[in-house]
Amino acid sequence: MTENTTTSPENPEKPEKPIRSVSKGAWFRVVFLVLALVNQVLVMQGKSPIPVSSEELEQLYTITLTIVASIIAWWKDNDWTKKARQRIK
């Protein structure tokens, strides 16, 4: 039997499919979640691990909204010219 295989409880002689390793994306999400939870606990205790003012937060929100709207508008195939609109028909 190989290292990454398990046996079926019903039939111990028949190996099941190999267990795949955890993806990098899954590890990233877990680490990001832990950082967010630590940040939340610190904020609840009155400590500010990320010193950001209200104005800076508003600017960050507006920039993010503008970037997302720009990407969506760019990604969507908008046909503005008459020739482009005729191509759809």
- 3-state secondary structure at position 15: strand
pLDDT on residue 9: 63
For residue 72, pLDDT over 60 is answered with: yes
Model confidence over 36-62: pLDDT tens digits? Answer: 899 888 888 888 777 778 888 889 889
Model confidence over 19-28: pLDDT tens digits? Answer: 778 888 888 8
Cα dihedral 29/34/40/46 (nearest 10): -150
How many structural domains compose the chain?
2
Please give the residue range of the domain that contains residue 31. 1-50
66 shares its domain with 80: yes
28 shares its domain with 66: no
Cα dihedral 66/70/72/75 (nearest 10): -160
Percent of the chain past pLDDT 70, that is, above it, reads: 72
3 shares its domain with 44: yes
pLDDT on residue 4: 55
In the numeric block, the tokens 């079926």 are attached to 8
